[in-house]
Amino acid sequence: MDGKIDYLIDEIPGVAQMLAIKGVGRDTVAGFFAEVGDPREYTHPRQIIKLAGLSLKENTSGKHKGKTTISKRGRKKLRALLFRVCMILVAKNSAFKALHAYFTQRPDNPLKKMQSLIALCNKLIRIFFSISKKQFEFSEEKMLKDIPHLAGSKKAELAT
C-alpha cells in the first residue's frame, strides 16, 4: 500500500520540492493532496485556506464585538494535518522557528502561541500552493524576507 502511495506521489509535480522542506514528510504531502486535490485547480491560496477552515471570522452580534477565531468550516482532517506539521516545523525548521518567535514576541500586536501556529498553517498552505504551481525550490531566506525585523538581521549577518 505504501509503495503505491509513494509511486503516485512521485508522479505529482512539485512534490520533490515540498519534501525538500525540513520537517515535511511523505505522509504530510500525501495527506495534503488527498484532502485538497490538485492545487493547480485553485486560483488563489485563500481558497485552500477556506477549504481547511482556517479563515478568520469575528463573533459579533449587534453592538457586541466578540473574539476573532478561525471559522472551522471546512475539512477537519486537513486542518489537523496542517496543525501537526506546523508543530514539527516550529521544532525542526529554523525559518518556521524564527517566524513563530517573531509572531509571538513582536512589540506591536504579539500573537498567542496558538494564533501563531494558525498563521504558520496559512503560510504553509501558501508555500505548498506556490510550489505546486511553479515547481521552485523552497528558500528559508526568501520566506523570512517578508519580516522587516528578521530581514534586517539576516543582512547584518551576511555583511559581517
pTM for this entry: 0.84
Give pLDDT, residue 5.
72
* Residue (of 105, 99, 48) closest to 74 by Cα position: 48
Who contacts 143 (Cβ-Cβ below 8 Å, separation ≥6)? Answer: 95, 99, 123, 127
Residues 64-113: pLDDT tens digits?
888 888 888 989 999 999 999 999 999 999 899 999 999 999 888 899 99
Q: Of the given ranges (2-11, 84-93, 113-122), which has the lowest mean pLDDT?
A: 2-11
DSSP H or E segment with residue 59: strand 56-61
Q: Helices 113-134 & 45-52, crossing angle to 10 degrees?
A: 130
The pLDDT value given to residue 2: 67
